Structure 1
Amino acid sequence: MKKLLVLGIGNILLGDEGVGVHAVEELKKETWPEFVHLVDGGTFTHDIFHILEGYDGLLVLDIVHGSKEAGTMYRLEEKDLVQDEKQRLSLHDIDLIDSLNMAEAIGKRPVMRVLGMEPENYTDWSMEMTGTIKAVFPDFLAAARKEIQLFIDEFGQ
Structure 2
Amino acid sequence: MTAKSNDARPSATEESRRRAVVGVGSMVLGDDGVGYHAIEALQEHDGDLPAGTTLTHAGTTAFLALEAMSGADLAIVVDALAIDESPGTIREYRLDRPDTSAPEVTMHDYSFTDALAVGDAAYDVPEEVYLIGVVPERLEPAVELSEPVETALPELVSRIERRLVTETDH
Corresponding residue for residue 30 of structure 2 = 15
Q: 5+ unaligned residues in a row in structure 2: which ranges?
A: 1-15
Q: Which runs of 4+ in 1 moved over 6 A?
A: none
Q: How far is 1:34 from its partner?
A: 3.0
Q: 5+ unaligned residues in a row in structure 1: which ranges?
A: none
Deviations 1:77-98 (A, max 9, x none): 115787548x233x32953223
- Equivalenced residues, count: 150
Q: How far is 1:37 from its partner?
A: 0.6
Deviations 1:102-154 (A, max 9, x none): 442146321100111100001x211000112112221111111111121xx33
Could you tell me the TM-score, scaled by structure 2's length?
A: 0.77
Q: Is the 8 A contact 2:91 2:132 kept in 1?
A: yes
Q: Note if 1:3 corresponds to 2:11.
A: no
Identity of aligned residues (%): 21
Q: Distance in 1 between matches of 2:158 and 2:148?
A: 17
Q: CA RMSD in A?
A: 2.5
Higher helix share: 1
Q: 1:154 to 1:10 in 2, by over 3 A?
A: same
Could you tell me the TM-score, scaled by structure 1's length?
A: 0.83
Q: Note if 1:38 corresponds to 2:55.
A: yes
Corresponding residue for residue 143 of structure 1 = 159
Map residues 49-68 of structure 1 onto 2, 5 A cutoff. Answer: 49-68=66-85
Q: Note if 1:132 corresponds to 2:148.
A: yes
Q: Which amino acid aligns with 1:21?
A: Y
Q: Is the 8 A contact 1:81 1:88 kept in 2?
A: no
